[in-house]
Structure 1
Amino acid sequence: MTEQLFRQDPYARDASGVVIGHTQEGGIIVEPELFYPTGGGQPGDSGWIEWDGRRLTIATTVKGEDGTSVLVPAEPEALPPQGAHVVQVLDWERRHKHMRVHTALHLLSVVVPLPVTGGAIGAETGRLDFNMPEPPSDMQILEDSLNRLIDRDLEVTEGWISEAELDANPSLVKTMSVQPPRGHGRIRLVRIGTGTEQVDLQPCGGTHVARTGEIGTVRITKVQNKGKQNRRVSISLE
């Protein structure tokens, strides 16, 4: 496994690195990994890399076969060779919005305590699908509850448990459609609030803000019927 800066320090906006490989499709693998790869409903990071006075725009980032981040160029241009020293630069404004929306969706799963059947994260909006036979009676109550949690400015931290520990505590997994990544012996947990202030704890590999107050005000824009017992709740950053 290469070093994952996006997980160790989600606030890192740029980082030096070395090209350690290319994919047959024209992707670039850089160590350490600054760019978050598409996964868990969160889009891959974009930005650019620089080397020898050149700049290459990165349109998105995907997971390679071994789980590493693969940078996807926006245009079919010449790539930095293997061994080249590069500077990686994120589109920070986009990444930070992903972090805010992703953390807000964790809190949405708190105010709507039902099994999650799907979800997606954008730079301005996000949504969760719930196993919800009947729509909520009052969207304003949901929105107010969500913003009260945000306004508590709770700390967001991470920890790790073994795969066996997760198997012994299946209730930690809220998502019915997406299971936490396995194969490395341990699972990352994201915790919102600490001690008696804890409101959420669930497996997640995405990027999040350090405190909920950083999310800002959120609006619930709509609730859609997506099946017999499926409701989609969409939110947007104000």
Structure 2
Amino acid sequence: MRHDHHGRTHRLELDDQTLREWDCTVLASDPEDGLVLDRSAFYPGGGGQPPDQGVLLWGGVQTRIVGVRPRDDLWLVPDADDPLPPVGTQVRGAVDDTRRSMLMRTHSGLHVLCGVMFRDFGVPVTGGNMEPGQARLDFDLAEVPAGFKDTLTEALNAEVAADRAIQVRVLPRDEAYALGPIIKTATDLLPPDLEVVRLVDVVGLDLQADGGTHVASTRQIGRIEVTKVENKGRGFRRVRITLPT
């Protein structure tokens, strides 16, 4: 399967993370499973990033998309109260820009957090989660230095101010691994049969295998606030961040 496809759907968000509207055709329409499009910019979720939401416009009506269900095909989940366009219908897709843009900022902020923690403490990520504007990462960190929360906040925002470019590349698996430590989690979760790897590079700070959506530079993230550092057990520290709107 091509890296920019999921089943029959061309994943437009992998080609252009700024795309919010596009024309497409309905390939499957089922009251229980949902909808499959030939082209879609709805991020399906993964790596801790929630799926996109938005609408499909067709025939003078709209179908709200409230989620995505990745299977062999990429099934869009419509609102239960909205009509379904039949197979073959030409529709206009639109991603909820406010939600997506905040998720892109949040996801990029997590990569900055991961990069700073890996650079300054050499610790891997053991878990994480995000919602628009707030997120957390868990680290295998034995000791928390005095003033850690404020020092970390300062370090993160120094990287935001540095306006580092955030670039996306797709490379054959062997070439990607040859670049250095592209897995910053404690366990390598890349499927063993994956032939190409999508890399997100916060240039000069963090290079990771990643399938999510991101802003183009660290400055676009905006200020990052470390709101809480939790001790979840021996060597298990949870760092929570927020991005003020």
User: Would you say same fold, with TM above 0.5?
Assistant: yes
Deviation at 1:180, TM superposition (A): 3.2
How far apart, in 2, do the equivalents of 1:158 and 1:214 lie? 16
Residue of structure 2 in register with 1:79 after alignment = 84
Q: Would the aligned equivalents of 1:173 and 1:203 in 2 still touch at CA under 8 Å?
A: yes
**Other-structure match for 1:89:** 94
CA contact (8 A) 1:59 1:73 kept: yes
Partners in 1 of 2:28 and 2:193 — Cα distance?
23
SS of the residue aligned with 1:145? helix
Q: CA offset at residue 183 of structure 1?
A: 3.9
Give the match for residue 136 of structure 2.
127
- Quick one: distance in 2 between partners of 1:129 and 1:213? 24
Corresponding position: 1:152 with 2:158: no
Q: Does 1:103 align with 2:112?
A: no
2:152 equivalent in structure 1: 142
The answer to which of 1-10 and 24-33 deviates more is 24-33
Cα shift at 1:13: 1.0
2:18 is the counterpart of 1:35: no
Alignment of structure 1 residues 113-124 onto 2, 5 Å:
113=118, 114-124=123-133
**Cα shift at 1:144:** 0.4
**Structure 1 match to 2:24:** 17
Contact 2:62/2:82 (CA < 8 Å) preserved in 1?
no
Structure 1 residues 109 and 214: CA distance shift in structure 2, 3 A? same
What's the TM-score once normalised by structure 2's chain length?
0.88
Per-residue CA deviations over 1:174-193 (Å, capped at 9, x if unaligned) read 01356235645100001112
**Equivalent-residue separation in structure 2 for 1:88 and 1:221 (angstroms):** 36
Q: Distance in 2 between matches of 1:170 and 1:151?
A: 26
1:202 to 208, 220, 226: 208
Q: 2:190 aligns with which of 160, 180, 187?
A: 180
**CA RMSD after TM alignment:** 1.9
- Cα distance, 1:190–1:23 mapped onto 2, change above 3 Å: farther
Work out the percentage of aligned pairs sharing the same amino acid. Answer: 37
- Equivalents in 2 of 1:184, 1:161: separation in Å? 11
- Counterpart residue number, 1:69: 74
Could you list the runs of 5+ residues in structure 2 that have no partner in the other structure?
Answer: none
Post-superposition offset of 1:76: 4.6
Deviations 1:154-208, CA, capped at 9 Å, x for gaps: 1111112222344556721001356235645100001112xxxx21111000000
Distance 1:136 1:52 in 2: 60
Count residues with an aligned counterpart.
Answer: 232
Give the unaligned 5+ runs of structure 1.
none
CA contact (8 A) 1:58 1:72 kept: yes
State the 1:100 CA deviation. 0.2
Cα distance per residue 1:181-236 (max 9 Å; x no partner): 5645100001112xxxx211110000000111111111000011223221110100
What is the TM-score when the length of structure 1 is the normalising length?
0.90
